[in-house]
Structure 1
Amino acid sequence: MTNTAATRVRRSPPVHTHAHLWLLLDGTGLHAPYGQLVIEPGTGRICCHLCGRWYVSLGGHVRRHGHTAESYRETMGLCRNRPLVAETLSRLIATRQSAAYLRSPELRARLAVGQELCKTGRLATLAATVHAGSPSPELTRLRRAALDAGRLTRAARRDRALADRLRELGFADLSSYLRHAHSIGTSLRSMAKATGLGWSRLRRELDAAGVATRPASSEGCAPTAIAR
């Protein structure tokens, strides 16, 4: 009887990727959204737009796709200064560079030139000249998000200030105050002063509270309020 030795087949570990969900204008399939760097939760690894694999650093990997780090950022609509490494590795590199800066007088001397340009604003001017043109889609998205967040913050601040004024006046909400103020004959000018609201919003809030407004008959007078 012949014994046949079983041959162990070595299998490569599975590679977790996903199908093309996005496309470039030239039809190239992407595994991550254009203008966005996708980070894997838990590991912090970065998804390659072109193959869907996850890496701690994309800088060396993208050469397999015929890209440099700079051309990859440009093709994928990323910011020119976007790090292509995981945040943990980025922090490690920053720590090493800081330590090298502190212990090397020669390095500090070389960097002093750039620091002086930065202080005078010359560095920003040079950068704007080199990178003149439309901002990257990622930068546009980040700027829009910052503007939206700023608007929400300002709106929330105004709402808090209004709530504080209403509490001082003894009212839980704006509608209650407006209906009460109208019932005792308070002018719109006085309502606006008490609440800090502009005319446009005051009229909208009066309308929502069921109090209609009409222009005064005399020029220069504030509008009057009438009950619906």
Structure 2
Amino acid sequence: MTTPEPRHGYLDEWDGRLICHECGRGYLHLATHARAAHDLTAAEYRERHGLGMSTSLVASSVAADMRERASRPEVLARLATVRDPDALAAHRGRQSWRPEVVRKAVDRGASTRVPVPDALVRGMPPWEDLLAWTSSAHGIIAQGYAVRALADACGRSQATVAQRLRRHPRT
């Protein structure tokens, strides 16, 4: 019996496995398969196939097993010993609510809404030239444009562009 054809916008499970939209085979951990076999991050896979960003890319049997293991009493007891609500409250403090701190955060958010000019994007090397593209992208980011704005201008996902910039820092 062959696996059914995957539907765009849906994540179908067959015989306890998720069906890959790229190759049509079934996998327990679809994100791992997509990265290894199709060179797609989980975010890119979801975007390409119309899945929601919160859609789990693990089979329901694996998810249930992970939930069961995470709720074991010994795991919860270990979590309780390392969780320190007082330390968290002290770390937060009043610092994060000062008006100037909030203003800076709002200003940073506003910068993501400024689109990167087409002239800058056209002047970038091709995406396939990893080091040259990354160097050019770092230059655009240094001019005050946000990673999100650059990703939108290049037609890539924000996660992919951010990952590329992290892996190849400006030298």
Q: TM-score, normalised by structure 1?
A: 0.33
Structure with max Cα Rg: 1
Q: TM-score, normalised by structure 2?
A: 0.43
Greater relative contact order structure (CA < 8 Å, 6+ sep): 2
Greater helix share, 1 or 2?
A: 2
